[in-house]
Amino acid sequence: MCSNLEVPSSIGCEKAILTEEQHMKISEVRRLLGPLSGKSSIYCSDPSISRYLRARNWNVKKATKMLKASLKWRSEYKPEEIQWDEVAHEAETGKLYCANYNDRHGRTVIVMRPCRQNSKTVKGQIRYLVYCMENAILNLSPDQESMIWLIDFKDFDMSNISLKATKETAHVLQEHYPERLGVAILYNAPKFFEPFWMVAKPFLETKTANKVKFVYSNDVNSKRIIESLFNMDQLESAFGGNNHVSFNITKYGEMMKEDDKRMRCFWSGVDPTSRCALVTDSKTSNSRTDDDAHITRGADGS
C-alpha cells in the first residue's frame, strides 16, 4: 500500500484571504439562493458559501446547487438538534469522539477506532457521525474551518466496517460538510485493509483522497508527520503520543451535554457574549478541564 508519507504542509490550515473576484462569486451565490431566514441565514455565512464554492472549483452554479441541497438536508435531518442522549449508546465504546486537544494549527481532532464498532444500523452510525461533526465544528478555533481525523487500526478486522456505511459516510461528509477535512491519518492500517481501500477510494473526490495519509508506528517518516501536527504531550499514546489517559464515556457525556447547550445558543442566534452563552458555556476560552476525563482542549494545540 502506498503510505503517502510526506509531512503535511501547513498551507491551507488557516482560512484563506479571498480575492475580489471570489467575494463577487459569494455575492452571486447569495443572489441565487434568494432571501434566507432563521438557521439557513446563520448557516450561509461567507466562509460557509466559500467552502461550497471551493468544493466546486468556484463554479457558482454548481456551488449554489450543492448548497441548496445541503440546506434542504439540514431542514429535514436537523443535525444541529441532535442531542447527546439520542446518540450516547453509539459512543459507549469510544469508537468515535472529538478529542480533548486540537492540532498545532487549532484544528479539532476526531478520533475513530473501527474495532470498537458497536452498532449494526447504518442509520444510527451516520446519526452519531453527524453529531460529532457538528460538535467538532462548534469547537474549532476562530481562525480554522477544517479538522483532523485520527483513525486507529489496532485490533481491526474487516467485520468492523461495511461498504454501505462507508459510502453513506463519504456522501454525507462530502456533500454536506465540504472542505472540512484537513488531514485524515490512517494509523497502522493492516495489509488486508488495502483491497477495501481500493474499493472505497473511488467514492472519494480526488482532493479528499489526497488528504488521506497512511502512517505506521515503526516508520521514521510517520513520526515526523505526527510530530509536525501535534503536541506529543497532548496526543494519545495510541498514536505515539505521551498522553496515557483513556476515553471515559461518563466524563465525555458530561462534556457533550454542555456542548449541547452551547449548540442551542449558537443556532438561536444568541450573541456569544450574552448571558445565555456565558451561563451555558463552561469553556468560553475553548478549553475543557477535567484531569480524570482527559478533557482539556487548548485552542492552539500547544
> Of 92, 74, 76, nearest to 84 (Cα)?
92
Contact 161, 196 (CB under 8 A): yes
Q: How far apart are CA 84 and CA 232, in angstroms?
A: 29
Q: Show the 3-state SS of the chain.
A: CCCCCCCCCCCCCCCCCCCHHHHHHHHHHHHHHCCCCHHHHHHCCHHHHHHHHHHCCCCHHHHHHHHHHHHHHHHHHCHHHCCHHHHHHHHCCCCEEEEEEECCCCCEEEEECHHHCCCCCHHHHHHHHHHHHHHHHHCCCCCCCCEEEEEECCCCCHHHCCHHHHHHHHHHHHHHCCCCEEEEEEECCCHHHHHHHHHHHHHCCHHHHCCEEEECCCCHHHHHHHHHHCCCCCCEHHHCCCECCCCCHHHHHHHHHHHHHHHHHHHCCCCCCCHHHHHHCCCCCCCCCCCCCCCCCCCCCC
Using alpha carbons only, give the angle 195, 199, 202 rounded to the nearest 5 degrees: 140
> Of 55, 58, 56, nearest to 18 (Cα)?
58
**pLDDT tens for each residue of 153-197:** 999 988 777 888 989 999 999 999 999 999 999 999 998 888 888
pLDDT the model gives residue 276 = 52
State the average pLDDT over residues 42-61: 97
pLDDT the model gives residue 283 = 42
How many Cβ atoms are within 10 Å of 20's Cβ, its own excluded?
7
What are the residue boundaries of the structural domains of the chain, listed by start? 20-77, 80-280
Of 290 and 70, more confident: 70
pLDDT the model gives residue 275 = 46
Of 9 and 61, more confident: 61
The cell numbers describing 51, all together, are 467552502
pTM assigned to the model: 0.84
Of 241 and 200, more confident: 241
How many Cβ atoms are within 10 Å of 5's Cβ, its own excluded?
15
pLDDT the model gives residue 298 = 37
Contact 52, 24 (CB under 8 A): no
How many Cβ atoms are within 10 Å of 275's Cβ, its own excluded?
10
Residue 200's pLDDT band, with cuts at 50, 70 and 90, is confident
Say what percent of the chain tops pLDDT 90: 68
Residue 286's pLDDT band, with cuts at 50, 70 and 90, is very low
Q: How far apart are CA 21 and CA 10, in angstroms?
A: 25
In CATH, what class is 20-77? mainly alpha
**pLDDT tens for each residue of 203-254:** 888 888 899 999 999 999 888 999 999 999 999 999 999 999 999 999 999 9
What is the CATH architecture assignment of 80-280? Answer: 3-Layer(aba) Sandwich (3.40)
State the average pLDDT over residues 264-292: 55
Pairing of strands 108-112, 147-152: parallel
> Of 248, 249, 286, nearest to 297 (Cα)?
286
Say what percent of the chain tops pLDDT 70: 84
pLDDT the model gives residue 14 = 57
State the average pLDDT over residues 61-80: 98
Contact 106, 301 (CB under 8 A): yes
Across all residues in the chain, what is the average pLDDT? Answer: 86
Common-topology check for domains 20-77 and 80-280: no
Contact 240, 210 (CB under 8 A): no
Phi, psi for residue 41 in degrees, rounded to 5: -65, -40
pLDDT the model gives residue 6 = 53
pLDDT the model gives residue 299 = 35
Please enumerate in sequence order all residues whose Cβ is within 8 A of that of 95, keeping only pairs 6 or more positions apart, or say none. Answer: 112, 113, 114, 116, 117, 118
**pLDDT tens for each residue of 256-274:** 999 999 999 999 987 544 5
